[in-house]
Structure 1
């Protein structure tokens, strides 16, 4: 089931990039992010309430709160940086580099979470890195923003 949700997340993220780029055409990037953030906040808390998880807030331990708050800070930073990049560059180029987060996630998961790495993961990450670099160096011939 995680594969279906992962693929839905990937398609949704692609749609977000395209719609955000279109919305940022005549809008300052941080303002665009702030507008989307309000909707994200409303939807997230609506889902929590509808699923009946609101009362679970009290059972979250201190360590989890810290991790989630710091992750929230980095989520905001990531989005702010991505929105600024989308304002300045082509969506296909920005997304290719921004999705290097996949490679960084693999590396950090091995270092900090002690996840085991397989040769398939190494090759996949190397291919992602190579693809992002290939797309990024094409910028000079394709960037019209």
Structure 2
């Protein structure tokens, strides 16, 4: 089931890029990011109430709060940079560079989460990086 959600995530991320490029025409990228964020917040809380999981907020531990906040800050920084990049650059060039996050994530998961980094992972990282260079240059 995780694969279905991962594929849907990729489809929605692709649509996000296209919709955003059209939407930020003649709009400051920071303002556009703020508008997008309000929509995401609203949609997220709607899903919390639809799934009736709001009572779980009381059970969130201190460590989880810290890392969820750090994740939110990283997301905000990523979105601000991404929107500025697609506003001034071609989506077809920005998106591949943005997806280098896959390579960075694999390395960070290996270093900090002690996840397995196999020969297959290394080859995949090299291919993603090489593909990104080919698409951007």
Q: TM-score, normalised by structure 1?
A: 0.93
SS at match of 1:40: helix
Q: Name stretches of at least 5 consecutive residues in structure 1 with no aligned partner.
A: 138-145
Aligned to 2:29: 29
The alignment status of 1:96 with 2:135, answered yes or no, reads no
The alignment status of 1:14 with 2:10, answered yes or no, reads no
Q: Name stretches of at least 5 consecutive residues in structure 2 with no aligned partner.
A: none
Which deviations, in whole Å up to 9, do the C-alpha atoms of 1:53-99 show, x marking residues without a partner?
10000101000100000110000000000000000000010001011
Moved over 3 A (4+): none
Aligned to 1:65: 65
How far off its partner does 1:133 sit? 1.1
Distance 1:9 1:87 in 2: 22
Distance 1:31 1:38 in 2: 11
Distance 1:86 1:31 in 2: 14
Distance 2:25 2:123 in 1: 37
Root mean square deviation of aligned Cα: 0.6
Kindly tell me the number of residue pairs found equivalent between the two proteins. 137
SS at match of 1:121: helix
